[in-house]
Amino acid sequence: MTKQIYPHFNPEVHKIESKIATVRTSHHCKYNINYHIIWIPKYRKPILTGKVVEVLKAIIEGQCQEMSINNLALEIMPDHLHLFVGAKPTVTPFKIIHKLKGNTSIQLRRCFPELRYLGYKQHFGSGFDNLWARGYYCGSAGHVSQEQVKRYIQEQQGKDVFEYDIYRCPTELKGQLKIGDFLN
């Protein structure tokens, strides 16, 4: 099915574990709203490893289902995570991030009490109030750039990603459009 609609994109060949965001329909509108969200643990501590990753993925997937947003891609690095979601027009990025960071912080620290101290060996006082740093990155991605965002997220873990030219540039410009150029 996907190969017929998008001949340049073949997820089976590249073993891509993300869904293609398409135009979705609500009662009174059609929309394609996607957000690339990044956030880090407090002090950028590399605590997102091992079992924490599995539990964090499960929590995020459950929260996305609860908020009725599509989890298009998720990669968890030791010191940050990338999330690419598709949302309804009624759900603001702030609501998504606020709910995800709040719930993941509470639930992760219930499952892993050592996260209360952010992995520090010496425990000073009663621990830290927050697992996540205050800030976050949120970028909107339309239909054209959603593949670029997915590719960027998958490149974070060094996965083999597909190559194609979305702008149909002349052959002398091929290869010059790299993922991440839009961040400059």
Alpha-carbon distance of 86 to 88, in angstroms, equals 7
Q: Residue 141 has what pLDDT? A: 72
Per-residue pLDDT, 92: 93
- The pTM for the full model equals 0.66
Rounded CA separation 76/85 (Å): 14
Model pLDDT, residue 177: 42
Nearest to 119 by CA among 39, 55, 41: 41
Instruction: Identify the pLDDT of residue 150.
Output: 73
pLDDT reported for residue 168: 47
CA–CA gap between residue 76 and residue 100 (Å, rounded): 14
**Total tally of structural domains belonging to the chain:** 1
Residue 146 structural domain: 2-183
CATH number at residue 65: 3.30.70.1290
Q: Which of these, 171, 145, 163, lies nearest to 35 by C-alpha position?
A: 145
Give the pLDDT means over successive 10-residue stretches in the chain (184 positions): 48 52 79 90 90 96 95 91 91 95 92 79 65 90 63 69 46 45 36
Rounded to whole angstroms, how far apart are CA atoms 88 and 70?
9
Question: Which pLDDT belongs to residue 182?
Answer: 36
